[in-house]
Structure 1
């Protein structure tokens, strides 16, 4: 009986961790000044495993990425790919699913790949809506210097599901 319970707990934890991931990224990109530049970046991003749809807009100066379930990608991976293609990745609008918890009295969301610290600039009502456990949130991740991508980000919440 104990073995069955242990197997069920392990299966449940495996399911929860596989759901912790980035789902969508609207990444600001600096340095694109022509259609071939945007096309080259789109091709480069499309080579990454885990992407469902990629569209790069020269007019908007953004890369729009929809990620597959169980994609295993991180925001750091995406921003490094942007840099590898000759551009600079700035702030991003993202949607992530992850484990919400308190760390040193502050809320964080863990995707398994990265940690997102809930910014003090997030609306109070959204921060108050957070509870420990799995959640889906959207928000703005502020720019980090391209050479200092740490895998730990500050996110200003715009939506909590």
Structure 2
């Protein structure tokens, strides 16, 4: 009986692990004005489950995060950690993998973490549905679910 529960748990987990997620994040952070602030921000981001490594630059006002291949982090979780530290999370550049689907007149990128991005592609890059890896820019504020595609790295239809 225990092996059945274990099998069902593994089956439930299998489609999401390693399939689609944030891979790298370059997040603009506003409000860091001292070296101890940047160091504390780096430590806080490093504590997020799924983070491989972090670098925070006080001079550039940015954090770079490299994530585990099977992480479940969302950009909202990263931004929440920044807001909780007393800073403002602005726009971010992300490398992400996900399932690209057409929905009415728009494109959506679904991640197993539950995060969904509305995509804007350059006119010359017409996508095909399927798994995709891409770089994109996510604005801050109300359009934080919108991802402006900068470059498609790989696509499997």
For Structure 1 versus Structure 2, the TM-score category normalised by the shorter chain is 0.7 to 0.9
Structure 2, unmatched stretches of 5+, are 1-9
- Alignment of structure 1 residues 42-81 onto 2, 5 Å: 42-81=42-81
How far apart, in 1, do the equivalents of 2:95 and 2:42 lie? 20
Residue matched to 1:111: 111
- Alignment of structure 1 residues 18-33 onto 2, 5 Å: 18=17, 19-33=19-33
- Alignment of structure 1 residues 4-43 onto 2, 5 Å: 14-15=14-15, 17-18=16-17, 19-43=19-43
How far apart, in 2, do the equivalents of 1:125 and 1:112 lie? 28
Q: What is the TM-score with the length of structure 1 in the denominator?
A: 0.82
Runs in 1 of length 4+ with deviation above 3 angstroms? none
How far apart, in 2, do the equivalents of 1:30 and 1:136 lie? 28
Residue matched to 2:145: 153
Q: What is the TM-score with the length of structure 2 in the denominator?
A: 0.84
The two structures, once aligned, show a CA RMSD in angstroms of: 2.1
User: Which segment drifts farther, 88-97 or 107-116?
Assistant: 107-116
| Superposition deviation, residue 39 in structure 1 | 0.3
How far apart, in 1, do the equivalents of 2:124 and 2:139 lie? 20
The alignment covers a number of residue pairs equal to: 142
| Superposition deviation, residue 14 in structure 1 | 3.4
Tell me which protein shows more helix as a share of its residues: 1
How far apart, in 2, do the equivalents of 1:107 and 1:75 lie? 19
